[in-house]
C-alpha cells in the first residue's frame, strides 16, 4: 500500500470512529461503563451538573451524559428517536405531549422556579423595579413556543391589571429578539447587547456578578413547574429511575434549594 493510500485509510477509519463514538480513537466496548443520558431544560444546567456528579459518586463506574437545550428542542429530539433515558422539562406542556405520545412514563414535578428581570449594568439606572421595564430601550424575551416565553407572556398579561392595560404592549414595543431558551436571553443581557430580559430566578442568580436582578411582584409572577420522567424506550431505564429518585431525595432537594429552585410543596406532584 502506498503512503497516500495508507493516509486515506487512516482518515476513513477516523471518520467512521468519529461518527460512531464522538471522537477519533478506539471505540469503547459496549457496556464497559454504564452510561446514563439525561435530557434537561437549559435552566437546569448548573444544578443537574452537580446532581450528575453526585449520582456518579453514588454509583462508581457510571457516567452521566447531560444534554441541555430548550424543552421544545429536547421534546422534538425524543420524538425523533434520540436515545435519552431521562427527560426534565421546564414546563408541563412538552412533557404532557410526550406522555400522550407514549414516549415517557409517570412524569412528576420535582421543582419550581419564578421569573425575574435581568438588567445589564448599563441599563440598571433606568430599570430599578419591574414597572419600569418599558423604559428599557432594548429588551429580549423567550420565544413564544419555549417555556420561558410562555411564562413571560402570561406574566405580562397579568401585569396589565395593575400597571395599565397597555403595559404588555409597551414592553413588547422594545423587544429586539426572542430567544430559544432562557439561557440565551440571559447571555444577551450579561453581554450588554440589550438592557433587560425576563429569565428564571435561578439563571439570574448564576450570573449575579454580570447582571442586576429586579424581582417580579408575586401578584403577576408565574411559577415555572419542572416535571421529570424516564423515557419509555430508555436504554438504561433502571439507572434513569435511580436518577429520578435522587431528585426527590433529601440530597436532591438540598442541591435544588441551594441553586435557588423552589420545592413543589402544596403542588400536585403527578404531571400527567
Residues of the chain with pLDDT under 50: 1-31, 267-268
Whether the CA torsion 133, 138, 141, 144 is positive or negative: it is: positive
Short-list 205, 158, 163, CA closest to 182:
205
Task: Compute the CA torsion angle 56, 57, 58, 61 (nearest 10 deg).
Answer: 60
Backbone angles phi, psi at 237, to 5 degrees: -60, -40
The whole-angstrom separation of Cα 243 and Cα 228 is: 10
What is d(CA 180, CA 255) in angstroms, rounded to the nearest whole number? Answer: 26
pLDDT for 248 equals: 97
The cell numbers describing 19, all together, are 461518527
* Domains within the chain, CATH numbers bracketed: 35-113+225-258 (3.40.190.10), 115-215 (3.40.190.10)
Question: What pLDDT, on a 0 to 100 scale, did the predictor assign at position 26?
Answer: 29
Q: Residue 169's pLDDT is what?
A: 98
- pLDDT at position 1: 44
> For residue 266, what pLDDT is reported?
55
Cell readout for 192 is: 450588554
> Strand pairing of 139-142 and 196-200?
parallel
At 271 the pLDDT is 59
Model pLDDT, residue 265: 74
pLDDT tens digits for 91-118? Answer: 999 999 999 999 999 999 999 999 999 9
Paired residues of 69 in beta bridges: 41
State how beta strands 115-119 and 196-200 pair. Answer: antiparallel
In the chain, alpha helices (H): 3-21, 45-58, 71-79, 92-100, 147-163, 167-172, 182-190, 201-206, 237-248, 250-258
**Which has the closest alpha carbon to 272: 100, 91, 14?**
100
Task: Compute the chain's Rg from CA coordinates.
Answer: 21
Q: Which residue has the cell 424581582?
A: 215
Amino acid at each position: 500500500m502506498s503512503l497516500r493510500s495508507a493516509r486515506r485509510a487512516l482518515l476513513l477509519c477516523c471518520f467512521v470512529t468519529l461518527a460512531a463514538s464522538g471522537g477519533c480513537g478506539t471505540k469503547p466496548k459496549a457496556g464497559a461503563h454504564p452510561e446514563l443520558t439525561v435530557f434537561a431544560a437549559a435552566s437546569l444546567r448548573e444544578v443537574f451538573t452537580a446532581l450528575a456528579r453526585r449520582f456518579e459518586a453514588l454509583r462508581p463506574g457510571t457516567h452521566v451524559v447531560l444534554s441541555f437545550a430548550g424543552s421544545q428542542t429536547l421534546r422534538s429530539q425524543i420524538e425523533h428517536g434520540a436515545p435519552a433515558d431521562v427527560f426534565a422539562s421546564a414546563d408541563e406542556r412538552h412533557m404532557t405531549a410526550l406522555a400522550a405520545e407514549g414516549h415517557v412514563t409517570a412524569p412528576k414535578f420535582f421543582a419550581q422556579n419564578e421569573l425575574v428581570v435581568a438588567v445589564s449594568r448599563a441599563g440598571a439606572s433606568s430599570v430599578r423595579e419591574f414597572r419600569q421595564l418599558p423604559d428599557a430601550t432594548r429588551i429580549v424575551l423567550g420565544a413564544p413556543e419555549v417555556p420561558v416565553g410562555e411564562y413571560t407572556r402570561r406574566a405580562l398579561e397579568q401585569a396589565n391589571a395593575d400597571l395599565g392595560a397597555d403595559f404588555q404592549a409597551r414592553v413588547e414595543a422594545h423587544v429586539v429578539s426572542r430567544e430559544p431558551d432562557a439561557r440565551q436571553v440571559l447571555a444577551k443581557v450579561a453581554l450588554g447587547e440589550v438592557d433587560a430580559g425576563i429569565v428564571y430566578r435561578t439563571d439570574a442568580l448564576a450570573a449575579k456578578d454580570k447582571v442586576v436582578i429586579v424581582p417580579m411582584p408575586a401578584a403577576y409572577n408565574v411559577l415555572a413547574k419542572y416535571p421529570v420522567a424516564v423515557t419509555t424506550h430508555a436504554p438504561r431505564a433502571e439507572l434513569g429511575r435511580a436518577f429520578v429518585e435522587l431528585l426527590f431525595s433529601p440530597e436532591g432537594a438540598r442541591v435544588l434549594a441551594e441553586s435557588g429552585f423552589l420545592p413543589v410543596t402544596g403542588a400536585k406532584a403527578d404531571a400527567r
